[in-house]
Structure 1
Amino acid sequence: MLYKGSCHCGKVAFEVKGEIGGVVRCNCSICARKGALLWAVPHEKLSLVAWGDDLGRYTFGKAQIAHRFCRTCGMHPFAEDVGEGWARTAYININCLDDVDIASIEVFEFDGRAA
């Protein structure tokens, strides 16, 4: 299935292909504050449609994940592995997807503070 998503103001827009089997609620310091529900997909399944200079990048700790955000509205629509190669993953914040019944999706708790 093809999903469309964006930040709040629409300056960062994307499409992602796949089936949402479940999502992760991470309790690490940034995810807990964002309230993100993350769907992991192979990075090549994510396509940016609009971004320009509005797509910001934030890393912390071991700097293994780039948390992406809109510089205009501040919304965090996705994150991605910073490494290169075929095994990269994108982490889609399903709260930023259009037409998704979030209540029907299974949520798995992840202890990111301990990771």
Structure 2
Amino acid sequence: MAQTGSCHCGRVRFEVEGEPDSGMACNCSMCARRASLLWFVPREKLRLLTPEEDAATYMFNQHVIRHRFCANCGIHTFGEGKMPDGTPMAAINLRTLEGFDVDSVPVKHFDGRSR
């Protein structure tokens, strides 16, 4: 099943294949400030529906995750990185999925602050 999502203004829109079964809340300096709830999928399951250049990129700390957001409205839509085995992955901000109830999935808490 395909899910669609977007930033607030709609400049960054995407489609992701799959059904969210959980979310991850991280307490690192970035995630704690933006309050995103992340769902991890293989990168090939994510497809941008808008031009690549509309999704700005921010990298910090070890520079291994590309945090993608809308340069116009500032909403974090997804991140891109690699799984521990090297497989490309996307971390979808569940709060940006259209019509998705974030209370419908269990939330796992990750201590990113201590890493």
User: Could you say which TM-score interval applies, normalised by the shorter chain?
Assistant: over 0.9
Report the secondary structure of 1:50's partner residue. Answer: coil
Alignment of 1:51-66 (within 5 A): 51-66=51-66
Q: Which residue of 1 aligns with 2:30?
A: 30
Report the CA distance between 1:50 and its aligned residue: 0.7
Deviations 1:30-79 (A, max 9, x none): 00100000000000000000135321100001001000010100000000
After TM superposition, the score normalised by the length of structure 2 is 0.93
Structure 1 residues without counterparts, runs of 5 or longer: none
Q: Which residue of 2 aligns with 1:15?
A: 15
Q: Which residue of 2 aligns with 1:77?
A: 77
Deviations 1:64-111 (A, max 9, x none): 10000101000000001179xx71110000000001111111000000
Q: Runs (4+) of structure 1 moved beyond 2 Å?
A: 51-54
Contact 2:5–2:96 under 8 Å retained in 1: yes
Aligned sequence identity (%): 47
Structure 2 residues without counterparts, runs of 5 or longer: none
Contact 2:3–2:19 under 8 Å retained in 1: no
Report the secondary structure of 1:60's partner residue. Answer: coil
Q: 1:30 and 1:37 mapped to 2: Cα distance?
A: 12
Matched residues, number? 114
